[in-house]
Amino acid sequence: MPPKSYKVAVLTRRNPLDKRAWSGTMHYIYKSLKNNVGEVVLLGPYHPKLIVFAVKLYRKLIRIILRKNYNIAYSGWFIRITGRHFTKKIIKTQPDVIVAVSSTPYTTHLKNISVPIILVDDINFAQLIGYYPNFSNLLQSSLDKGQKITNMAYNKAAAIVFSSEWSKYSTIQEYGIPQNKISVIPFGANLDLIPDRQVALNKKFNDECKLLFLGVDWYRKGGPIAFETLQILLRAGVKATLTVCGTTPPAEFKNEKMKVIPFLNKNIPTDSEKLYRIFLETHFLIVPTRADCTPIVFCEANAFGIPVLTTQTGGIASVIETGVNGILHDLDDTGMEYAETIKKYYMGHDAYRKLVENSRLRFENRLNWDSWGKSVYHIIHALQSNPPQRPNFNKETIHSSL
């Protein structure tokens, strides 16, 4: 525990105790704050069933009638209801600071709250538009409200913490937020079971190169390219296997050297242990993603000394550095380029060993939750020592903006 600890209220609509919420990131942020900052009070989860049902029904009608998408999180009346709920809990809790995790819109309608708000996220609203499928073809009112709400939240916040430089500089350019208000702190590995350094570095070489594809969305995460990579390696006489974990590929993607594990639940100890064993046996994580922010699985792979083969998109360059803890490929690279990378490094054992050592070192130095928590502690301590002046968002201002 730091010399001076603080009482932190963690604001989330989902349950931070559930390791499935935001791929476990909320859970590990909660643990990191407890270990590095002080007392942590959870304001969530908050899931008003009737209200959520009504909003989802409205979204469905919009899709049927207008053939447009409507985003719930940036619905004006929904965040007003959510804001009132969280305001009551914050007033009752009396924290030193509020940390809103992937919950930016829900901070705009907090009333009579004088404590600083820190926003934690991996992307801003402007970056989401057209980048992810569920943020494509949005209703114009959803676009307008999303931008207004995000702008209000960023101006209201005392500090913003992103996981990549990509999101930081986009937020400066898109919303005019001062650079000194934004910090870039990489996320950590969402794992309870992490091997000792020697275990992670003790990669067993044999004639078979073991690849791992880990992701829920087969196409967005580049599953077809990972599959093509396996096929090219096998045709070239390279003994290789591909384990697909977290999804079931379409029927046309079949190979006797590909093993599919549709789902593992980190809340279940046996599933966590199974994932641990899979990581230990893996030589490369291959995720040729089409669109991503800063995937947590990259931090997890590096914890096991596993180099990551992925693409130069989104905020990934803040996590993976070519030739250090993985290789960044161009978005238009095919399985051929990935196969050539694997042959280059895996066949040259010394080059591969260097990647393994640097991957583990990158995890130990940057891509872990202890480092994240210590960095956030310094932000909180600075805010408590010298509170910034924040704009006064009164009731009339908020209603007129939404």
The CATH number of the domain holding residue 211 is 3.40.50.2000
The answer to whether the beta carbons of residues 44 and 10 sit under 8 Å apart is yes
pLDDT at 388: 63
Q: How many separate domains does the chain show?
A: 2
Task: Tell me which residues of the chain have a pLDDT lower than 70.
Answer: 1-2, 388-402
Same domain, yes or no: 209 and 78: no
Q: Is residue 54 part of a domain?
A: yes
pLDDT at 204: 80
CA 168 to centroid of chain Cα atoms: 15
The closest alpha carbon to 168, from 311, 381, 24, 314, belongs to 314
CB atoms within 10 A of CB 118: 22
Same domain, yes or no: 146 and 279: no
Same domain, yes or no: 165 and 260: no
Q: How far is CA 94 from CA 103, 116, 389, in A?
A: 19, 12, 19
Same domain, yes or no: 205 and 354: yes
Q: Is 45 left (phi over 0), alpha (psi -120 to 50) or beta?
A: beta
Tokens (6 digits) for 257:
């050297």
Q: Is residue 32 part of a domain?
A: yes
How far apart CA 367 and CA 200 sit, in angstroms, is: 15
Q: Which residues contact 198 (CB under 8 A, 6 or more apart)?
A: none
Same domain, yes or no: 175 and 219: no
Q: Is residue 18 part of a domain?
A: yes
Q: Is residue 388 part of a domain?
A: yes
Same domain, yes or no: 335 and 395: no
Same domain, yes or no: 340 and 381: no
Q: Is residue 1 part of a domain?
A: no
The answer to whether the beta carbons of residues 88 and 113 sit under 8 Å apart is no
pLDDT-above-70 percentage for the chain:
96
pLDDT at 389: 59
Q: Is residue 278 part of a domain?
A: yes
Same domain, yes or no: 168 and 292: no
Same domain, yes or no: 68 and 114: yes
Residues spanned by the domain of 379: 6-188+369-401
Burial zone of 262 (CB within 10 Å; 0-12 exposed, 13-18 middle, 19+ buried) = exposed
CA 196 to centroid of chain Cα atoms: 24
Same domain, yes or no: 242 and 338: yes
- pTM across the whole model: 0.93
pLDDT at 2: 67
How far apart CA 319 and CA 296 sit, in angstroms, is: 9
Q: Is residue 111 part of a domain?
A: yes
Same domain, yes or no: 124 and 166: yes
Maximum alpha-carbon separation in the chain = 69
Same domain, yes or no: 84 and 221: no
Q: Is residue 382 part of a domain?
A: yes
Q: Can you list the alpha helix ranges (DSSP code H) found in 157-268?
A: 165-175, 197-201, 223-235
